[in-house]
Structure 1
Amino acid sequence: SNHQSWVDTSIVQYISRDRLPLTRFFTKFELIYIPIVGQTFYFLDFPMMRRHSKQAVTKNPALAGKDIIEAKRACALLKDKPFTLLNYLEGTRFTPKKRNTQQSPYTHLLKPRAGGLALAINALGDEIDGILDMTIVYPDGVPTYGELWQGKIKRLGVDVRHIEIPDELFASLQDGGYENDSATKEQMFAWVEHLWRQKDERITSMLAEFEE
């Protein structure tokens, strides 16, 4: 999904209700120490990750590959139950300032990051039933969480569609090719960027529909 506001996650949960299993997403392990929020993530079996920065790996090479191991461990907790794993490919919430800073080629999106999705495919493999592309628009401006609770969001648009990933690419990602094979990484970036161009055009079209 594209990502503009903390409201996005609630919208995803609402749209998924009675259609998809409970939505979960990778969370930082440190969030477990936040009262209520951390405990909720823990008891709902959200995959909680201990991530290691490039700087940490440089200082301690033994940490290389730990992210994959940690992801597989986190996902293993979910394999006996259905779930939907939410991934925001932009890695952070969109703002025009962020778009300009990173010189994003898209009008409504930041540059996508393929690593998180590649990691999930590597960790879950054949357990994945399918990949859904969700696009969210707010024609009256990006809302805050407070506005959600106050009932001030009057209009929004959501588009959900099933997408296919090439079998060869999926198999390579499942085998860890994203981390170990430059050709796989390039193919993954090309596939994700193609999806992102389509999503950017879709957002323009969705917003235009509210103007009619």
Structure 2
Amino acid sequence: MPILKGSVSLFLLTLTTLLWGLPLMVLTLVKVITPGHRLRLRVLQGLNFIALNWIGLNLWWMRHWLKPRLQAEVPEGLSQDQRWLVLSNHRSWTDIFMLQLVLHRRIPMPRFFLKRQLIWVPIVGLAWWALEFPFMRRLNREQRERHPHLARRDREATERMCERARELPIAIYNFVEGTRFTPAKHDAQQSPYRHLLRPRAGGTAQVLGLLGDQLSGILDVTLDYARPDPTFWDFLCGREGEIRLYARRLEVPSWMPGGDYHEDPDYKERFHSWLNALWQDKDRRLDDWR
């Protein structure tokens, strides 16, 4: 029965992708050939409309077919006309849908930091590119030192997203650990946290430095799964246990906007202290839940 349920879920995912993917591809072509910044911005708004309905349709059938056991606490006063930075820990691809179940149409169209390889996913990769999601290389320290031009391209992708956010309300989502949590990764990193990987500061710091004065706030999200090894396939099969999500609203500290994480060592150290304190709070919350 779970395998059958998972197969039906995959069919529904494929169906919604085809249903909304075709008009999205047509509008993507229109965007490519449209002259002028202002007209392209209008086309992007059309793409956002398609993407929001695509997300909404997936959430509808997931609520009624998979009936996820989600306990969520989300702050009041959110709006689609505001700009937000959403920071979360990362356990599974399921995280994306849990975040959207509680935040869809409560805050603007999401933009996720994505691994560059995901641009090759059929239809979906094109959708992310057309919607101007930032594709990142996720370089480690050694790779950044050997190939500084690649690190610079990642920063330029973030800059483009922040420039767009000054024109249209968007919600920037960042799984700050950069990868899904596993015990093996936790041990390899020698993470100081019991339930989390080490947070990566660069992208978050750049967004807050460039866009902090425009943000309505930061949504700090903690996700936890009753099952120790959650997977997206188990979620599609209806085998996922209870999921907990807690989101709290944080103000952007006054010292962050305008800061340069990559060039100012004092700012970099201060930012690391702030982010590590955030992760310590998140780790304690996960301790309390367990």
Band of TM-score, shorter chain:
0.7 to 0.9
2:274 counterpart letter in structure 1: W
Cα–Cα, structure 1 residues 159 and 63, in superposed 2: closer, same or farther, change >3 Å? closer
1:73 matches 2:156:
no
SS in 2 for 1:158: strand
SS in 2 for 1:162: strand
Cα–Cα, structure 1 residues 68 and 135, in superposed 2: closer, same or farther, change >3 Å? same
1:181 alignment partner, one of 264, 269, 276: 264
Distance 1:50 1:38 in 2: 15
Q: How does 1:109-124 map to 2 (within 5 A)?
A: 109-124=196-211
Per-residue deviation, 1:175: 3.6
2:128 alignment partner, one of 38, 41, 48: 41
Distance 2:273 2:158 in 1: 24
TM-score, normalisation: structure 2: 0.62
2:253 alignment partner, one of 166, 179, 186: 166
Cα–Cα, structure 1 residues 93 and 191, in superposed 2: closer, same or farther, change >3 Å? same
Number of residue pairs the alignment of both structures matches: 203
Asked if structure 2 preserves the Cα contact closer than 8 Å seen for 1:91 and 1:113, the reply is yes
85-94 or 22-31, which deviates more: 22-31
2:131 counterpart letter in structure 1: L
TM-score, normalisation: structure 1: 0.83
Asked if structure 1 preserves the Cα contact closer than 8 Å seen for 2:216 and 2:251, the reply is no
119-128 or 194-203, which deviates more: 119-128
Alignment-derived partner of residue 103 in structure 2: 16
133-142 or 70-79, which deviates more: 70-79
Per-residue deviation, 1:24: 1.6
49-58 or 154-163, which deviates more: 49-58
Distance 1:138 1:86 in 2: 20
Alignment-derived partner of residue 221 in structure 2: 134
Q: Which runs of 5+ in 1 are unaligned?
A: 208-212
Distance 1:56 1:83 in 2: 31
Structure number with bigger Rg = 2
1:99 alignment partner, one of 171, 178, 186: 186
SS in 1 for 2:100: helix
Distance 1:140 1:114 in 2: 28
Q: Percent identity?
A: 39
SS in 2 for 1:167: coil
1:205 matches 2:284:
no
SS in 1 for 2:193: coil
Relative contact order (C-alpha < 8 Å, sep 6+): which is higher?
2
Distance 2:288 2:142 in 1: 42
Cα–Cα, structure 1 residues 147 and 64, in superposed 2: closer, same or farther, change >3 Å? closer
Alignment-derived partner of residue 194 in structure 1: 277
Alignment-derived partner of residue 155 in structure 1: 242
Asked if structure 1 preserves the Cα contact closer than 8 Å seen for 2:116 and 2:137, the reply is yes
